[in-house]
Structure 1
């Protein structure tokens, strides 16, 4: 398959280019409003340059990865839907759920393929939970913690994406940017339509270290329908400018305790007093797995594993968190 990248002046662009190669596909043309950036990216990856976005559309790629500033992404996604092209809609893709809503409604009504890269859905612990549930061994859900802490906010300016630190162009800070992964994980444990039924027990947002206009650290406590407690932690407070940081997913049930720390995954089960390691999927390889899964679904005529509806639910919950009394 031929994959086009639209908006390569984005920190996820290199991940997607790597994922295209891992999937055994061809990186076709690339485009960016900054044509000099598009030419540099194309030269690095042996791709063609689309001087205008219309040229990328006219090339009719099998899939377009759409990336850009949150305030401009709905317009880009609409243009690609006009062309009837399958889309990977990279985050952030809107300023808020209301900003995203017309795109979501159109995609649903017209049946567009729009996959959203929330690749931690491919963590080995989800498959292990499904297997335990199928065997009747999972038990009731008790609590979960989803943490993702990356390096200081200045790294976004270093990468030419300083707009992420501007609430008018991004719609929030670490919670909107990184916390979306944890919020999506929390929602995946609840009824798909139950985002309005989730109780926001507590929220703390902090911007003390770097004085940015957006929060650099957020922690949220949620109570899910049925009583499960979930905490989501996101921040720009890891002491490194390099890729990676502090990542941990934990889920506790009556009979199982599952952990994913990126390079190490494990499960403990009460009924057989066993502890087992699971084959990890490294965070650096999760975009590869996402691309392979997405292309397979397109080939089989299946919907994406994580679609625009899932993303919209997470955005709605984040909007409610920001709007909660006492939060900035």
Structure 2
């Protein structure tokens, strides 16, 4: 498989490199609109660094990875879809709901495979919350997630300062990391989120995206969820984030922090603990490999543009709510 990679300065791109070294995978070229890390990755991958996305689009390739600025994603996705080329595109896939809906509709009309790395879906810890483990979709009563990542200045240090500009990024911590848990709540409960209320704060005067946010939501089945996000953690290479969750289900109560998952059954038996990999970075190459297998075997992606569209619809409703003092907002759903 010949792979083209667009805009490798994205902070997630290095996480995919293990999969790009798999047998049968050839990286034919990369681009770097930010002119930050392209030369280094071209040398590491032993491939050509193209001068622009436009030049790379003219190359011969079978599959693409798209890591562009959120404000540029939809246009590039549209070009790839027009050519019928399957691709993986980082969330949020566009700057707003209108853009994401447009490329989703185009991809469906053209029958183009597009996956979106909502990596929680392939995580070990999420598999512990599956129906096979007794967690039926209808049994969830409350789902609460906290995901606090590094300070906003990390984006400036790694060549992605545009992430702090709402006109380029579309949103901040709630969009960037909260989107994963919006998708996960929908996936675990097998029901779309229908109503949200949110609050958000920005601390730096030169940042126009949220550095802290809290979202509460209700889905079509009446189940309630809560997501707390932030660019607030003094992260280091060995200690990057504060990630915790608690879940009430008719079968069990689950709580997790660090690398420990604790499950307490409703039958009043002693709870059980397990050590689980909560470093979400580990699941990006897993998701990419899963995308390639699904494509080869003619299956739909485990998460794609329709799931991204729903998550963006929830986020837009959340930002409307935050702008109106937390007033509940109805989520716009795809037709």
Q: What TM-score bracket applies, with the shorter chain setting the length?
A: 0.7 to 0.9
Return the match for 2:266 from 263, 267, 270.
270
Q: Secondary structure at the match of 1:317?
A: helix
Name the counterpart of 2:133. Answer: 132
Runs in 1 of length 4+ with deviation above 6 angstroms? Answer: none
Aligned partners of 2:255 and 2:262 also within 8 Å: yes
Name the counterpart of 1:62. Answer: 62
Q: Secondary structure at the match of 1:100?
A: helix
Name the counterpart of 2:53. Answer: 53
Name the counterpart of 1:244. Answer: 240
Return the match for 1:304 from 295, 301, 304.
301
In 2, distance between residues paired with 1:260 and 1:21? 33
Return the match for 1:230 from 209, 225, 233.
225
Aligned partners of 1:251 and 1:259 also within 8 Å: yes
What's the TM-score once normalised by structure 1's chain length? 0.88
Displacement of 1:287 after TM fit? 0.6
Displacement of 1:299 after TM fit? 1.5
Q: Secondary structure at the match of 1:10?
A: coil
Task: Structure 1 unaligned segments of length 5 or more: list them.
Answer: none
**1:233-279 Cα deviation digits (max 9, x unpaired):** 11100012547211124322011233454633343333372514265
Task: Structure 2 unaligned segments of length 5 or more: list them.
Answer: 328-335
Name the counterpart of 1:316. Answer: 313
Q: Secondary structure at the match of 2:94?
A: coil
What's the TM-score once normalised by structure 2's chain length? 0.86
Name the counterpart of 1:31. Answer: 31
Displacement of 1:149 after TM fit? 0.9
Return the match for 1:254 from 250, 259, 262.
250
Alpha-carbon RMSD across the aligned residues, in angstroms, is 2.6
**1:110-134 Cα deviation digits (max 9, x unpaired):** 2111100110112234333221348
Displacement of 1:281 after TM fit? 5.9
How many equivalent residue pairs? 322
Name the counterpart of 1:7. Answer: 7
Aligned partners of 1:182 and 1:233 also within 8 Å: no
Distance 1:269 1:28, change over 3 A: farther
Distance 1:22 1:253, change over 3 A: farther
